[in-house]
């Protein structure tokens, strides 16, 4: 899915004890399934060494002795072994994958839960794409480690050892002869793996370069065209592609040499068995059937060796992923629930008090420099000020997305930091500046996934904010499908949905970031204004106002300038004072009267 | 018919390599079928007790020689066939790139970069997979099967038929399971997409989630999506978990049957033990090729779909192309004219319409618009966001063509001019600056053809001085040679705009277009730049789109656009006297300056 084009994983250690222990926590609950899967796999490995034995039996027994009826039991046993091998392997695959999926699901949920608990300052710093990679790709790499890596390495070892064991058991001299080429084969595989890893890295690097260039060129194609540089770009791209081609041909060359070499080694092995076995047959310490069995065993010993080398890469990738996952799980939240939370006195009234509040995203540069405010329950307040005056920060603090660095904020006399965030936010709702929509239905955008808001309440909220009219015109009405980010809704529609959402949750305190939506037509603007007015009734509301008309609905206006409250009063009082608000008013609002669009 | 027919011209280009590869494949297959035959000779001699030690050694040496010959042929086969696949991949990739470079903006606004990238990476790789491992594997499989079949039929028809009829069953099982697996896997991937989208949306809207304390409810939904993903995965494992065990089972049953039937034939005297061993060895030889054939079917299906997607792009014809009988324009003067120009909105984008009850969007963005700028004069265009300012100036360098009317340079319709000459005549500083990940110097000299010498360095010096980029050079570790982008410095918006400006100045164009090009540059620097530009642009034509009146005050002609029309036109003082929108904007700007003081 969202695999990046150039997220070239730098592979490091294939085993890290600390990380393994951290990950083990997620595996332990499924140890029974894992143990069963492992047992099944060992069983399967053992059934795989039986067929050559049967061949031996058949040739040395019935076939050499000319007993036709003796072949049937061997055939029956052969089929039985094959069927049980199938059954064992299949059950193993299913069980190990089922355990793997459960582990991954737990891990994914844990990560999701942890990430959403982290403070907004974490989310401000970390792009969504990065979080997505953690939850999807990194977690999948761990699944692969479990299902493809660890267990199969054990199985490969078991297979290899049991083949060697049975060979020695059958005939130690022939075993020595057939295994003579094995160390050389292992060496060749090791060399091949090493060369291939280096070359493969080169291939990936060059591909990443190509893709980075391609991506940039597609993004900047207009500049290239306007400056007539198409040919130069093409030449450069051809050069990069040529380098990639060369790297690929190099890896092809290594592979094309490796494969026949392995074949040659196998042939030498067979020749050795033939020679040694032939000598043995003549000297009487070996039989024809044994010869055939050893040829088959030599073939089978090679597969696990090649597998072991390949699984190493899976381990490395898994460790890198585990490192990143653990990194996220170890990140601590900055805004935390108190050890002993206080509950709000019931009923919640919505009285807010700010005492000497100091805050800055960078503590060295405070945005709010000592704010004192008292907002009685039920009052509607507008906060105005130039860009950067600290308006949005104030809202962020009231919803406790961030914590104050000095002073305190209280709701009904209780410090926000003494409350559980969950409780606080049931009473204070913030309507964000950019009306956020999620994929789902209109109704699910109003109630989110809350179980406490029924259909009637959704409809009521939509009607209150004038959204019902447009919703009912949509095909399917409240069940109309909303696409990702609300792409199939207009800005005005999304704004009204965000309002409806706020009303549906019916908080005692409402924080509204009122974006100056210059691109909304006048009819919609009127509907939004009307909705706003109704929302402000009977509840404490704080609006960051950008519109003149919004200001008219509030009881009180607070003017922020460079992190301080400079003026406080009603619209008329402040205008009469002819101070900062007066100028701000002229700048921000006067032209809306003139009908000139903002830009 | 399959999209793969489009590959034929590419394959023809490398026909000799392909032929050589296929001939080697045939030799390799024949030689490898000889190995089991040698084994049989040795075993038969052993069984009858006719063998002496030296002749066993002889058979061993023969086995090794066969393996050597086989190795040599296979080496050439791989290098030829797989080599061609990489070359064709190269050809397709460079062709695709060249095509991307020719396509118009309409194409790029309709297609996401991610999708275009996917075609150049995933689809291309699917096609190469078919040509490389696919072709190579098929050749090996078919030829080995034929060679082994001939030798088996020569020994014993019954046993040969058992092997020849049952081995392909493996292939069929693989294909059948494979197809069902693909369907199941598509579902798994779709659900994976659902999860990814959920995560993406959730964390993009984390403010809203937190604001309404909906974390637990969201977690429950996420858990449900994951549960579904797990179930689909298990349904997939139900199939995929069976694949390899089933292969082993099928092949094992053939081997068991060969042992049973072959054993009876040996007892009956119709077959020697050596021949039985030879049959067994062929089973081993054919195992991998038979499975490979099954894999081929899915490679073929994927490659065919991918080739279709590649051709979709390659066959797209750009709307803006160099006219066939293009008029050269060796020394343009720079007289501009928009003559009754009309522009429609591009095909409605998927997102954000502005009205609550979106009517069908007004079709025309601009209509019946005429502006004339004599050579060497300046023009400013002001108006609200979205009114069509950028689209209008885009007509000059033919980023797109008008739907109605004409745009003329020196009295000639730009659509008849040589595209290269036209774009050389116009220095365009776009609203969205774009810098490449190369050193600053190369970014500035981006539009300059020819040698980079001392004379060019002097010109670059001049361009960065005029654009006031020179002021900031000391901040960069290597001055003009500092790398830009992820692996170098990140420039501020204002710095980027100044690089972009220097880039245009360096081209020394008779027409300079600044599309809101100084918006991120602070007022004071902007004033300095404008003063410097006036010097540079003496006798040249300038078109400026600006949000700030301060930038356009001294321009000869100012045009205010509103609702697809020119509503005010004149110079600064004339428009102020008019007391309309322009005057209001100007008052607002003065106030703003006063407030921030």
Alpha-carbon gap, residue B341 to B413, rounded angstroms = 12
pLDDT confidence band for B299 (50 / 70 / 90): confident
Burial class of B412 by CB neighbour count within 10 A (0 to 12, 13 to 18, 19+): middle
A216: left (phi over 0), alpha (psi -120 to 50) or beta: alpha
DSSP label at residue A170: H
Can you read off the two tokens belonging to residue B521?
């540059």
Question: For the domain bounded by A352-435+509-592, which CATH number is listed?
Answer: 3.40.50.300
Long-range own/partner contacts, residues A127-132 (CB < 8 A, 24 or more apart): A128/B199, A128/B200, A128/B203, A128/B204, A129/A2, A129/A4, A131/A328, A131/B199, A131/B203, A132/A2, A132/B196, A132/B199, A132/B200, A132/B203
Alpha-carbon gap, residue A436 to B212, rounded angstroms = 13
B340: left (phi over 0), alpha (psi -120 to 50) or beta: left
Reported as a single tens digit per residue, the pLDDT across B577-595 is 988 888 888 887 777 666 6
DSSP string, A208-274: HHHHHHHHHHHHTHHHHHHTT-HHHHHHHHHHHHHHHHHHHHHHHHHHHHHHHHHHHHHHHHHHHHH
Judged by CB atoms closer than 8 Å, whether chains meet at A241 and B93 is answered as: yes
Residue B359 backbone phi and psi in degrees, to 5: -80, 175
| B451–chain A Cβ distance below 8 A for any pair | no
pLDDT confidence band for A4 (50 / 70 / 90): very low
Give pLDDT, residue B486.
65
**Residue found under tokens 């008029």:** B327
Reported as a single tens digit per residue, the pLDDT across A523-547 is 677 777 788 788 887 888 888 876 6
**Residue found under tokens 């530009």:** B533
Regarding predicted confidence, which is higher, B119 or A593? B119
Alpha-carbon gap, residue A446 to A438, rounded angstroms = 10
Closest CA to B485 of B297, B495, A62, A231: B495
Query: Strand, helix or coil at B397?
Result: coil
Whether the per-residue pLDDT at B215 is higher than 80: the answer is yes
Judged by CB atoms closer than 8 Å, whether chains meet at B53 and A71 is answered as: no
Testing the interface with B: which of A58, A239, A267, A450 to mutate, by most B Cβ within 10 A?
A: A267
Give pLDDT, residue A1.
31
Whether the per-residue pLDDT at B568 is higher than 50: the answer is yes
Residues of B in contact with A75 (CB under 8 A): 256, 259-260
**Mind telling me how many Å the CA of A554 is from chain B's nearest CA?**
23
Give pLDDT, residue A335.
81
How does A374-399 read in b/e, with b if 16+ C-beta sit within 10 Å? ebebbbbbbbbbbeebbbbbbbbbbb
Can you read off the two tokens belonging to residue A491?
């800005």
Q: Which helix (H) or strand (E) holds B428?
A: strand B426-429
Reported as a single tens digit per residue, the pLDDT across A462-472 is 988 888 888 88
Give pLDDT, residue A546.
67
Contact status, residue A219 vs residue B434, Cβ threshold 8 Å: yes
| B430–chain A Cβ distance below 8 A for any pair | yes
The CATH-assigned architecture of domain B336-345+362-596 is: 3-Layer(aba) Sandwich (3.40)
DSSP string, A323-357: HHHHHHHTPPPSS---SSPPPPPSSP---EEEEEE
ipTM of this complex prediction, to 2 decimal places: 0.86
**Mind telling me how many Å the CA of A112 is from chain B's nearest CA?**
7
Closest CA to A138 of A306, A328, A310, A353: A328
**Mind telling me how many Å the CA of B431 is from chain A's nearest CA?**
11
**Mind telling me how many Å the CA of A65 is from chain B's nearest CA?**
8
> Which of A68, A86, A267 faces B63 most closely, judged by CB atoms?
A267
| A218–chain B Cβ distance below 8 A for any pair | yes
Whether the per-residue pLDDT at B80 is higher than 90: the answer is yes
Beta bridge partners of B425: none
pLDDT confidence band for A514 (50 / 70 / 90): low
Contact status, residue B93 vs residue B306, Cβ threshold 8 Å: no
**Mind telling me how many Å the CA of A405 is from chain B's nearest CA?**
21
Closest CA to A307 of A154, A140, A195, A453: A154
Q: How many CA atoms lie within 13 A of A246 on its CB side?
A: 9
Residue B36's alpha-carbon distances to A180, B68, B177, B184, in angstroms, are 22, 15, 32, 41
| A270–chain B Cβ distance below 8 A for any pair | yes
Residues 381-410 of A with CB under 8 A from B: 386, 399, 401
Beta strands in A45-188 (DSSP E): none
Reported as a single tens digit per residue, the pLDDT across A305-336 is 777 767 777 777 788 888 888 888 888 888 88
Alpha-carbon gap, residue A189 to A191, rounded angstroms = 5
Residues of B in contact with A337 (CB under 8 A): none
Which superfamily does CATH assign the domain made up of A12-171+311-332 to? ABC transporter type 1, transmembrane domain (1.20.1560.10)
Dihedral sign for Cα A8, A12, A15, A21, please.
negative
Write down the domain spans for chain B. 1-155+299-318, 336-345+362-596
**Mind telling me how many Å the CA of A18 is from chain B's nearest CA?**
28
| B54–chain A Cβ distance below 8 A for any pair | no
**Mind telling me how many Å the CA of A99 is from chain B's nearest CA?**
10
pLDDT confidence band for B530 (50 / 70 / 90): confident
Alpha-carbon gap, residue A298 to A177, rounded angstroms = 10
Alpha-carbon gap, residue A406 to A411, rounded angstroms = 17
| A132–chain B Cβ distance below 8 A for any pair | yes
How many other CB atoms are found less than 10 A from the CB of residue B276?
27
Quickly list H helices, B272-418.
273-314, 389-394
| B185–chain A Cβ distance below 8 A for any pair | no
Beta strands in A8-131 (DSSP E): none
Write down the domain spans for chain A. 12-171+311-332, 172-285, 352-435+509-592
How does A236-249 read in b/e, with b if 16+ C-beta sit within 10 Å? ebbebbeebbebbb
Q: Which CATH class is domain B1-155+299-318?
A: mainly alpha
| B596–chain A Cβ distance below 8 A for any pair | yes
Residues of A in contact with B277 (CB under 8 A): 292, 295
> Which of A230, A275, A429 faces B101 most closely, judged by CB atoms?
A230
Judged by CB atoms closer than 8 Å, whether chains meet at B189 and A583 is answered as: no
Contact status, residue A541 vs residue A509, Cβ threshold 8 Å: yes
The three state secondary structure string of A432-496 is CCCCCCCCEEHHHHHHCCCCCCCHHHHHHHHHHCCCHHHHHHCCCHHHCEECHHHCCCCHHHHHH
Give pLDDT, residue A309.
66
Reported as a single tens digit per residue, the pLDDT across B334-366 is 899 999 999 887 654 444 444 555 444 447 788
Beta strands in B518-574 (DSSP E): 541-545, 557-562, 565-570
Whether the per-residue pLDDT at B227 is higher than 80: the answer is yes
Judged by CB atoms closer than 8 Å, whether chains meet at A524 and B356 is answered as: yes
Reported as a single tens digit per residue, the pLDDT across A349-370 is 888 999 999 988 777 888 888 8
């Amino acid at each position: 899915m969202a695999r990046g084009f150039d997220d070239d994983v730098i592979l490091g250690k294939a085993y890290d004890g600390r990380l393994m222990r951290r990950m083990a926590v997620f595996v332990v609950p499924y140890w029974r399934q894992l143990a069963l899967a492992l047992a099944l796999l060992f069983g399967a490995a053992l059934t795989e060494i039986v067929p050559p034995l049967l061949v031996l039996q058949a040739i040395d027994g019935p076939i050499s002795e000319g007993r036709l009826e003796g072949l049937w039991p061997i055939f029956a046993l052969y089929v039985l072994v094959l069927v049980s091998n199938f059954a064992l392997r299949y059950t193993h695959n299913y069980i190990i994958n089922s355990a793997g999926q459960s582990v991954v699901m737990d891990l994914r949920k844990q990560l999701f839960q942890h990430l959403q608990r982290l403070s907004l300052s974490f989310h401000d710093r970390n792009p969504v794409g990065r979080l997505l990679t953690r939850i999807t790709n990194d977690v999948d790499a761990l699944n692969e480690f479990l299902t493809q890596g660890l267990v199969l390495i054990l199985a490969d070892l078991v297979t290899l050892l049991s083949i060697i064991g049975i060979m020695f058991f059958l005939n130690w001299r022939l075993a020595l002869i057939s295994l003579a080429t094995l160390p050389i084969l292992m060496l060749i595989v090791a060399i091949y793996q090493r060369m291939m890893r280096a070359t493969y890295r080169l291939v990936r690097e060059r591909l990443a370069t190509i893709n980075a260039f391609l991506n940039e060129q597609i993004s900047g194609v207009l500049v290239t065209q306007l400056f007539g540089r198409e040919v130069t770009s093409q030449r450069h791209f051809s050069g990069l592609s040529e380098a990639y081609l060369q790297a690929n041909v190099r890896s092809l060359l290594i592979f094309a040499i490796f494969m026949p070499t392995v074949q040659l080694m196998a042939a030498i092995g067979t020749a050795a068995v033939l020679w040694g076995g032939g000598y043995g047959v003549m000297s009487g310490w070996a039989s024809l059937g044994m010869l055939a069995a050893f040829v088959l065993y030599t073939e089978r010993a090679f597969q696990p060796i090649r597998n072991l080398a390949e699984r190493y890469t899976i381990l490395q990738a898994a460790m890198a992923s585990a490192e990143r996952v653990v990194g996220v799980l170890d990140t601590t939240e900055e805004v935390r629930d108190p050890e002993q939370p206080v509950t709000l006195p019931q009923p919640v009234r919505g009285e807010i008090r700010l005492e000497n509040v100091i805050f800055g995203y960078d503590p060295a540069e405070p945005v709010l420099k000592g704010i004192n405010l008292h907002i009685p329950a039920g009052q509607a307040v507008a906060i105005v000020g130039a860009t950067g005056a600290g308006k949005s920060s104030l809202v962020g603090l009231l919803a406790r997305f961030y914590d104050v660095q000095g002073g305190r904020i209280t709701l009904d006399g209780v410090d926000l930091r003494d409350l559980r965030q969950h409780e606080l936010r049931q009473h204070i709702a913030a309507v964000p500046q950019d009306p956020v929509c999620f994929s789902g239905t209109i109704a699910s955008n109003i109630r989110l996934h809350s179980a406490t808001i029924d259909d009637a309440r959704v409809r009521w909220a939509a009607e209150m904010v004038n959204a019902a009219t447009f919703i009912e015109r949509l095909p399917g009405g409240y069940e109309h499908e909303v696409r990702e980010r609300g792409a199939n809704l207009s800005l005005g529609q999304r704004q009204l949905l965000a309002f409806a959402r706020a009303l549906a949750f019916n908080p005692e305190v409402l924080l509204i970031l009122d974006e100056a939506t210059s691109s909304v037509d006048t009819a919609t603007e009127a509907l939004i204004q009307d909705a706003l007015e109704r929302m402000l009734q009977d509840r404490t509301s704080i609006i960051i106002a950008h519109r003149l008309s919004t200001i008219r609905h509030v009881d009180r206006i607070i003017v922020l300038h460079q992190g301080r409250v400079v003026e406080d009063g009603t619209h008329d009082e402040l205008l009469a004072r002819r101070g900062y608000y007066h100028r701000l008013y002229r700048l921000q609002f006067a032209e809306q009267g003139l009908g000139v669009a903002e830009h | 018919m399959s999209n793969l027919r489009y590959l034929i011209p590419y394959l023809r280009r490398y026909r000799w390599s392909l032929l050589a590869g296929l001939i080697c494949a045939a030799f390799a297959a024949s030689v490898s079928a000889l190995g089991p035959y040698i084994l049989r000779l040795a075993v038969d001699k052993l069984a009858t007790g006719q063998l002496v030690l030296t002749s066993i050694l002889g058979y061993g040496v023969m086995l090794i020689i066969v393996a050597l010959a086989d190795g040599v042929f296979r080496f050439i086969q791989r290098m030829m066939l797989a080599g061609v696949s990489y070359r064709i991949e190269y050809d397709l990739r460079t062709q695709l790139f060249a095509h991307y470079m020719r396509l118009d903006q309409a194409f790029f606004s309709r297609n996401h970069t991610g999708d275009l990238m996917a075609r150049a990476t995933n689809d291309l790789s699917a096609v190469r997979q078919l040509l490389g491992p696919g072709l190579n594997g098929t050749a090996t499989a078919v030829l080995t099967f034929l060679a082994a079949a001939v030798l088996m039929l020569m020994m014993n028809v019954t046993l040969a038929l058992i092997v020849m009829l049952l081995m392909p069953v493996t292939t069929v099982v693989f294909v059948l399971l494979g197809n069902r697996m693909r369907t199941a896997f598509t579902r798994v991937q779709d659900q994976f997409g659902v999860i990814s989208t959920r995560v993406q949306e959730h964390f993009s809207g984390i403010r809203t989630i937190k604001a309404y304390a909906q974390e637990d409810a969201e977690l429950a939904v996420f858990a449900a999506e994951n549960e579904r993903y797990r179930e689909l995965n298990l349904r997939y494992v139900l199939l995929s978990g069976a694949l390899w065990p089933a292969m082993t089972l099928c092949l094992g049953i053939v081997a068991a049957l060969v042992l049973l039937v072959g054993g009876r034939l040996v007892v009956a005297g119709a077959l020697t033990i050596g021949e039985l061993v030879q049959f067994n060895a062929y089973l081993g030889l054919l195992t991998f090729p038979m499975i490979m054939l099954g894999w081929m079917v899915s490679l073929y299906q994927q490659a065919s779909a991918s080739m279709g997607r590649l051709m979709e792009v390659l066959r797209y014809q750009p709307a803006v192309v160099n006219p066939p009988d293009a008029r050269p324009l060796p020394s343009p003067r720079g007289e501009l004219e928009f003559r009754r120009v009309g522009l429609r909105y591009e095909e409605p984008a998927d997102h954000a319409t502005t009205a609550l009850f979106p009517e069908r969007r007004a079709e025309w963005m601009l209509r019946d618009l005429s502006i004339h700028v004599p050579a060497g004069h300046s023009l400013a265009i002001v108006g609200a966001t979205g009114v069509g300012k950028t689209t209008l100036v885009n007509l000059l360098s033919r980023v797109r063509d008008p739907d109605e009317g004409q745009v003329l340079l020196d009295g000639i319709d730009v659509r008849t001019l040589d595209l290269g000459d036209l774009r050389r005549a116009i220095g365009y500083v776009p609203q969205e600056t774009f810098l490449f990940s190369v050193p600053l110097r190369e970014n500035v000299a981006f539009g300059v053809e020819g040698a980079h010498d001392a004379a060019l360095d002097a010109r670059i010096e001049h361009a960065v001085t005029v654009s006031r980029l020179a002021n900031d050079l000391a901040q960069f570790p290597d001055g003009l040679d500092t790398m830009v982008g992820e692996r170098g410095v990140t420039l501020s918006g204002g710095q980027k705009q100044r690089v972009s400006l220097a880039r245009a100045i360096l081209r020394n164009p008779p027409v300079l277009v600044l599309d809101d090009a100084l918006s991120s540059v602070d007022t004071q620097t902007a004033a300095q730049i404008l003063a410097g530009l006036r010097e540079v642009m003496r006798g040249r034509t300038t078109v400026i789109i600006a949000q700030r009146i301060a930038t356009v005050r001294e321009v000869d002609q100012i045009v205010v656009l509103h609702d697809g029309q020119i509503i005010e036109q004149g110079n600064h003082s004339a428009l102020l006297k008019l007391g309309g929108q322009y005057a209001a904007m100007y008052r607002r700007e003065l106030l703003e300056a006063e407030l921030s003081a």
